[in-house]
Structures are given as C-alpha cells and as structure tokens.
C-alpha cells in the first residue's frame, strides 16, 4: 500500500454525539448498569480531565499526586466477554452519555475490520497507523490549553483480537506483530500528547490480546450473560406493556436460563433480538400477545453457544 487510505476506508461510519438514536439505544441496554456507569466515568476522565481536577479542588485540594496517577493512564478501555453480552452496543452508544455529561461534542470513529488488510507486507501496519493519525489529528484540533476540551474523539476497535492478538503466539506472522506494535504506538501517542481522545476495544477473546495492550488499559470491563435478576429486569421492562404479571415474567426468566442440561442461558442479544421479536411477531397481526404462547416460544429458542476462548 503506497498511499494513505481515506477516512471513509478506515472508518465504516462516524457518529457525532449527542445523538438521539444513540441515546435511545443506550437506554435499552438494561442489566449492565455497573459497566455503563464505570465506562462513562472512565471516558469522561480520559477525554476531559478538568472534571476530576474541579472535584479534587473542591473536596481534596492536596491530592494532586494521586490524581496525576489517574490522569496519566493510557486512554484505553477494553470491553471483554461472551458473545451477545452488550459490549459492542455499549461501545457504539456510550459516547452520547459522555457527551451530555461533559457538555461537549464527541465523534466516534469505528475502525473497519478491513483495516486488517489483504496480507501484503506493511499494509496492516500502515492502515492502523493511518487510523491513529486521523484520530490524533482530529483530537488535536479539539484540545484546549487550560479550559476543558472543545470536543473529543473515540476510536472504536471491535473484534480487537483480529488486530491486537498476542505477539507471544508462536504462529503469529511478522506483519501481525508489526500491526500490534503500530497499535501500541498509537495508544501511547494519544496518551503522551494528553489529547481529548480515547480508544475502546471490544473482544470475545481477552486472553488472545497482547499483554502489552492489556497492561495499557485504564480499565478492563468484563461482560457475562445476564443472570436471573438481569433477565427478569430485561423481560419485565419490555413485556410490562403487554400485560404480563410477575408470575409470568418469572416463568420466562426461568425458561431463558439454564435449561435441558445446558450450563448457560440466553444472551442479551438472544433476548432482545430474537425472543422478544418472536413473541410479538407470533401474535401480529391478528392476536394480542399471549403469555402462555410467549413461554412456549421461550422454551424453543436455543441460546447462542458460549465463545470458547483460545490463544490458538
């Protein structure tokens, strides 16, 4: 590759926050409130540290040393966990909450999987380097010398193990190693320049990520399948409008959990994208939603199998 790829080649679509659609999608991600809160706080600090500085001035004016440790962490957050656990949806929408909290505009740059390239020598390294070049360029324009940033950028790397797999793997090609090195340099560049930018990585294979990448993460948030309480919350919030009572919700909660000898239940996406639409479309257009029929449908939906993590 001899020419720098365009921004449209690197990023499939860009989203500017605040965004009403992102806000609505984020509000529908129930059962992962802890991850939401922690990610909003973390991105807020990484992107706009003046908030923490104001807080410290008010409550702990002598704590500058400890605060510097927090503020000097690399601007990288890793979202890791099982398939269908809400990682990607959260990463794609959390910018709206951060933008509203910090009262600034934020742009999401979702890195295209084509960034892995076609395997030509130097291609992936150049693609990754170019992605960070655009991110740094845009963030530098938003940096303020003293006041809070005028805006911020989030670089999203979904299926991150495809471009940041461990360099310890014996079968790893030298071009892949170079790509990981380029990724690490990009994260360090954002950190060293204290730019209003952050990198979010999503992966089903945390163990497959390069150790140096994981060490740089300011936070690693782990996602799992919803437990009984979380499934109940999702189902109750979605089906209360159809007249389901507590007993009927409890029955659906059991049906979407560990069943028929399986040690795993439905994922968030299984419930939101498969079960709930199936219940509604089964009744549409001639009948009202029937709780008994909904329970039967739930028993017939097989959960997505867990991702079997491996370094190989």
The arrangement of strands across the sheet holding 76-81 comes to: 15-17, 105-110, 151-157, 197-203, 76-81, 219-223
Predicted TM-score (pTM) of this structure: 0.85
Cα(99)–Cα(107) distance, rounded to whole angstroms? 9
Burial of 128 (0-12, 13-18, 19+ CB in 10 A): buried
Query: What local confidence, expressed as pLDDT, does residue 142 receive?
Result: 92
Query: What local confidence, expressed as pLDDT, does residue 121 receive?
Result: 46
Query: What local confidence, expressed as pLDDT, does residue 200 receive?
Result: 96
Q: Which residues of the chain have pLDDT under 50?
A: 1, 121, 311-312
Query: What local confidence, expressed as pLDDT, does residue 124 receive?
Result: 77
Instruction: Please identify which residue in the block is written with the tokens 């938003």.
Output: 142
Query: What local confidence, expressed as pLDDT, does residue 150 receive?
Result: 87
Query: What local confidence, expressed as pLDDT, does residue 116 receive?
Result: 55
Mean residue pLDDT across the chain: 87
- pLDDT tens figures, 48-90: 787 787 888 889 888 777 777 777 888 999 999 988 888 999 9
Query: What local confidence, expressed as pLDDT, does residue 6 receive?
Result: 82
**Domains in the chain, ordered, with CATH?**
7-223 (3.40.50.300), 228-300 (no CATH)
Query: What local confidence, expressed as pLDDT, does residue 311 receive?
Result: 44
Query: What local confidence, expressed as pLDDT, does residue 307 receive?
Result: 73
- pLDDT tens figures, 285-295: 999 999 999 99
């Amino acid at each position: 590759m001899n020419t720098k790829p365009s921004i449209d080649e690197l990023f499939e679509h860009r989203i500017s926050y605040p965004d009403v659609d992102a806000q609505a999608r984020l509000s529908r991600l129930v059962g992962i409130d802890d991850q939401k809160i922690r990610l909003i706080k973390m991105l807020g600090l990484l992107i706009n540290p003046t908030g923490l500085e104001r807080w410290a001035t008010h409550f702990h004016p002598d704590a500058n040393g400890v605060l510097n440790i927090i503020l000097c962490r690399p601007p990288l957050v890793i979202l890791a966990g099982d398939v269908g656990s809400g990682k990607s949806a959260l990463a794609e929408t959390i910018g709206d909450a951060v933008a509203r909290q910090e009262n600034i505009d934020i742009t999401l740059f979702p890195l295209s999987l084509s960034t892995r390239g076609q395997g030509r020598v130097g291609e992936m390294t150049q693609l990754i380097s170019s992605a960070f070049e655009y991110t740094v360029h845009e963030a530098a324009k938003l940096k303020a010398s003293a006041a809070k940033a005028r805006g911020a950028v989030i670089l999203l790397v979904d299926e991150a193990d495809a471009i940041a797999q461990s360099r310890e793997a014996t079968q790893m090609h030298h071009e892949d190693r170079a790509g990981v090195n380029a990724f690490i340099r990009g994260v360090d560049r954002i950190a060293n320049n204290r730019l209003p930018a952050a990198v979010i990585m999503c992966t089903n294979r945390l163990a497959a990520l390069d150790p140096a990448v994981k060490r740089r993460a300011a936070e690693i948030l782990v996602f799992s399948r919803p437990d009984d309480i979380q499934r109940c919350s999702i189902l109750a919030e979605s089906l209360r409008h159809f007249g389901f009572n507590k007993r009927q919700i409890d029955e659906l909660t059991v049906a979407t959990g560990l069943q028929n000898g399986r040690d795993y239940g439905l994922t968030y996406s299984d419930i939101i994208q498969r079960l709930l639409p199936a219940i509604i479309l089964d009744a549409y257009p001639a009948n009202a939603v029937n709780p008994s029929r909904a329970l039967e449908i739930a028993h017939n939906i097989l959960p997505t199998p867990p991702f079997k993590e491996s370094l190989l």
